[in-house]
Every structure is written in C-alpha cells, then in structure tokens.
C-alpha cells in the first residue's frame, strides 16, 4: 500500500489565526481503503486541519494533493464536488425533510411530465435511497418520516448514506459518535468498516481512544498544532498514544 498513490496527501500544511498557529506544518497521507484516526487533545488543531481539507478554511502554507493533483478549495462545495465528503458533528441535515429528501438534497433527480414540466422524481429517490441504505445494512423503517423523528444514529446513518450514494472518494468524520448512545456508536463504527470494505478511505477525528483503536488502521496524533506521531495500529498501544497526546515523552526528555 505504501507505494501506491495516496488518495489524500497533505504536505507541510499550516494555518494561523492572528498570532496563534493552529496547525503547524503538518503532513498526512490517506490511502485507498484505509481508516486513519486523528487524535489529539482539545485545541490540538485536529478540526482546523480537517477544515482545510474539506474547504472550510484555506491553508496559509503547504499543499493538499487529492488523487495526485494539487487542489485549492475556496468553499466546502468545491471539495464535495471532487468527492471529499465531511460528516459534521452538527449534522448537515434538514430535520423537517425525510431521509430520501436529505440524501438527494440539492441534487434532486428530475423527470419530464407531458414533455414540458420538469418535476422531482420522488419514486426514483425512494428506490435509490432504499438501495444505498440496504447496501450499508442500515435499517430505517419509514423513509418518509421527517429526520427530526429519527434517533441520532439513524440521522448519522443517513448522512453517511448520502455521502456513499454520491460516490465519496474520501470521507471525513468529525467526532461522528459524540452525541450517540452506546449501541448507536457501535453501529456508526460498523458503518466506518463498511466504508473501508467498499474502498472508501475514512479520516476520523475522535477523543475516544477505544473507538479509534476499534476501527483505525493508522493513528495520527496531534499536539499543539503539530503532528507528534504516527503509528500503525498493530505497532502501538494505548499507553504510547496517550503519552503522545499529553506530551509525556517530551517531559521525560527534558
């Protein structure tokens, strides 16, 4: 895998907010079919880093390569068009609309009626939604119910299904299980594995060490804006990662 071209390659990327260096020359690679966990304490720069990848922020230095070519995103939509989907903590769903409407939000399929009228093809939306949810083994009893009436895990599943349906080439998840009950957390992690099986690489941010160890192939640790370590999951353990997160190694050296 190491010699194959990475889907995402970040080189020496930096972001400053006034005098604060939020991200300081971080490099990172994500390969096809791989789950990368991004760990770090509050304020380590994880969110800022992924916001630069997903087009919310523009980096002050460094470069982002996607499928081998340099990319500059001025809006999240541009990143999305290329296939970088981000699942946000605050759920970018319309709670008043049903699952099918959310999966097709802004990209509703149209069909012609009587030759002139272009109307939304709700039948197609329903069958396609059913299909993608089935592929991901997500069970939502009534697709015509507003999202508002669904559980947090079901909503998260709809977000993920939307990304999969629209052919995400890279999935970024920012604390995807933060607000979920335990069984629902497991389900979301199952979905992350399902994505990997489909060859969609996932970059997952989390506070939760167990969670990252459960799904990630590789773990990247950030501290105070810098990348302080990168380990294959098989070559590390909780203690090592925790000491990287809190900076215990540095303290020992001093």
Partner 1 sequence: MKATKIIASRSRDRSKMLGPLIGTLSNFWAWIFLLILVAFFSISGPGFFDIFNFQSIGADMSLVLIMALGQTFVIIAGGIDLSTGYVMGLASVAASVAMTHLSPGTPLAVVVLVGLVVGVFAGLIPGLLNGILIARLRVPPFIVTLGMLGIARGAGFILSGGQPVSVNIEGLGQLGNGYLAYYLPNVGLSFFNLPQNLQGVRLRDIVGILPHPLTIMVLLVFICHWLLTQTRFGQHAYAIGGNREASLRAGISVVRHTIAVYLLSALLASIAGVLYTLRFSNGAANAGDALLLDSIAAVVIGGASLFGGEGTIVGTLIGALIIAVIQNGLVIIAVDPFWQFIVVGSVIILAVLIDQARAQVISR
Interface contacts to partner 1, rule CB under 8 A: 76-77, 80, 91-97, 101, 105-108, 110, 117-120, 137-141, 145, 148-151, 153-154, 157, 183-184, 186-187, 190
**182-197 helix and 152-165 helix, angle to the nearest 10 degrees:** 10
CB of residue 40 to partner 1, shortest distance in Å: 25
Nearer to partner 1, 7 or 87 (CB): 87
Cβ distance to partner 1 smaller for residue 58 or 119:
119
* Of 20 and 94, CB closest to partner 1: 94
Residue 245 C-beta: closest distance to partner 1, Å: 28
- What is the C-alpha separation between 153 and 113, in angstroms, rounded? 37
**Whose CA is closest to 56, among 38, 36, 79, 39?**
79
What's the min distance (Å) between Cβ of 199 and partner 1? Answer: 19
Rounded least distance, CB 77 to partner 1, Å: 5
Under a CB-based contact definition with an 8 Å cutoff, are residues 239 and 66 in contact? Answer: no
- Please, which residues have CB within 8 angstroms of residue 201's CB and are 6 or more apart in sequence? 7, 8, 30, 31, 32, 33, 34, 35, 36, 169, 170, 171
Sign of the C-alpha dihedral computed for residues 129, 130, 136 and 137 taken in this order: positive
d(CA 228, CA 23): 12
Least distance CB 18 / partner 1 (angstroms): 25
Residue with Cβ nearer partner 1 (117 or 239): 117
Nearer to partner 1, 119 or 127 (CB): 119
Q: Is the dihedral angle over the CA atoms 188, 176, 31, 1 positive or is it negative? A: negative
Distance in Å, CB of 140 to partner 1, minimum: 7
Closest approach of partner 1 to the CB of residue 217, in Å: 20
Q: List the helix and strand counts (H, then E) for the chain.
A: 9, 12
Q: Which is nearer to partner 1, 9 or 54 (CB)?
A: 54
User: Please, what's the b/e burial string for 76-87 (b: 16 or more CB within 10 A of its CB; e: otherwise)?
Assistant: beebbebbbbbb
Residue 153 to residue 117: CA distance in whole angstroms: 38
Question: Is the CB of 105 or the CB of 248 nearer to partner 1?
Answer: 105
């Amino acid at each position: 895998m190491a010699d194959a071209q990475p889907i995402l390659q970040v080189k020496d990327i930096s972001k400053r907010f006034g005098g604060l260096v939020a991200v300081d020359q971080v490099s990172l690679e994500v390969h096809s079919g791989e789950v990368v966990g991004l760990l770090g304490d509050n304020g380590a720069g994880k969110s800022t880093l992924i916001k630069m990848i997903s087009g919310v922020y523009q980096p002050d230095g460094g470069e982002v390569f996607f499928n081998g070519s340099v990319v500059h995103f001025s809006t999240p939509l541009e990143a999305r068009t290329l296939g970088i989907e981000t699942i946000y903590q605050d759920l970018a769903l319309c709670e008043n609309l049903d699952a099918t409407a959310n999966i097709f939000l802004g990209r509703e399929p149209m069909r012609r009626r009587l030759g002139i009228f272009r109307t939304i093809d709700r039948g197609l939306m329903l069958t396609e939604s059913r299909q993608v949810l089935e592929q991901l083994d997500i069970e939502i009893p009534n697709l015509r119910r507003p999202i508002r009436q669904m559980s947090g895990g079901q909503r998260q599943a709809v977000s993920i299904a939307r990304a999969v349906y629209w052919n995400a080439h890279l999935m970024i998840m920012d604390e995807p299980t933060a607000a979920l009950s335990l069984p629902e957390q497991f389900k979301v992690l199952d979905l992350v594995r399902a994505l990997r099986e489909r060859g969609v690489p996932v970059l997952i941010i989390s506070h939760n060490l167990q969670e990252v160890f459960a799904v990630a192939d590789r773990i990247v640790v950030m501290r105070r804006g810098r990348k302080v370590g990168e380990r294959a999951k098989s070559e590390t353990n909780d203690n090592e990662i925790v000491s990287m997160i809190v900076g215990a190694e540095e303290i020992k050296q001093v």
